[in-house]
Structure formats: structure tokens, C-alpha cells
Structure 1
């Protein structure tokens, strides 16, 4: 289990426990975190679970695959370094303490 901090664009923080094996997107959905819409349900077919990874965590996550890179082109104000789709990040104990920042909106 990992404790993940989701920070809304307004600055409001939500710290939740997310079970191993779920995705960061599922953790947000299951805990009613506003700002992650996840329209495609985690199929990497939209960009509505886009977040900015806290810079201290960017290098600690698995690399983006080509499909995620392509879908990020459709996200609201993507950042080449910190943008990720939360449906593509599987939770493990190694993610304990992960901090993600939500964009102003999802598109």
C-alpha cells in the first residue's frame, strides 16, 4: 500500500492510501478525488487522468511508453518532463509518498 498525495489546482491536498496493484487513477477514483475524470476507465484512450508528477518523483517512476506519450498530446497544458497519465502508473510500495498535482482542467 502507498500513501499518495493528490493536490488540486487550487492547492487543496488529499492524502489517501492506495492498494498495491491499483493505478494512481483508480486510487483517485476510489477516493473521490476531484479533478481526475478518467473518461476511458483506464484504457489509455483519453487524457482525462492527466497530472503533473512532483519533480522529486519524476525520475523514480517507470518511463512513459509510446501510447502514453501520444495521449499526453491531448492533455491540457502538458509538460514534457512532469506530465503523466495516472492510469498508466501502477501502485507499489515504492510509490509510498508520491505527490501528484492536478491540472486546472481536463480535456
Structure 2
């Protein structure tokens, strides 16, 4: 029932960390696109992720974060009709400058929204 509605109403899905490495991220994005999601959000938290309001959350390295976003963009560029939202928790875990840097690189990699 939900999948049928997705053809009529654009909906963004929370892809969390992409559920693994870059290969898993690519598979996750393809799956979300296949069921009709208009967009997917991929984030840079360490997996398994923690709720945003709890203590102890952390982000992956820049390299790993960029690989996740690249994998999502690659899935989109291989014909998946989906918007890529790349999110960072670096502001809470590191600082504002790191968050801004990651967002700029996410954009340069090809994320539609950061």
C-alpha cells in the first residue's frame, strides 16, 4: 500500500548509514529507488548509529563518509531516479568547520542536498 502511494506523493526515506560499506550503500539507494522513494538520506555516523539525542555518537572518517556519498551518487547515476541527501553529524561530534567541510565535499561528489 505504501509503495503504491509513493508513485503519487514524493517521499524521502532515511537510509541511515546505508547499512554497511559503500557496496551496501549503493544497494540501499537502489532499493529505495526501486520502491519509488523520491529521495534518500545517507549519513556519516558510525554504524550501528545512535539516536541523535543520545551521548556517545560519533562519525566515520572523512574518507569513509565520502565513499558512502560517492556510492549513493553512483547508484543514482546508474539510472536510479532518486535525490541524494548527504547528512553529517560532524558538528555535534567534532565542530562546525568539519561539518561545513564535509558538506562541501558531499556537494562536490554529487549529492543533491547536504
User: TM class by shorter-chain length?
Assistant: under 0.3
Q: Higher strand share goes to which structure?
A: 1
- Larger of the two Rg values belongs to structure: 2
Q: Which has the higher contact order (CA 8 A, sep 6+)?
A: 1
TM-score by length of 2: 0.25
TM-score by length of 1: 0.26
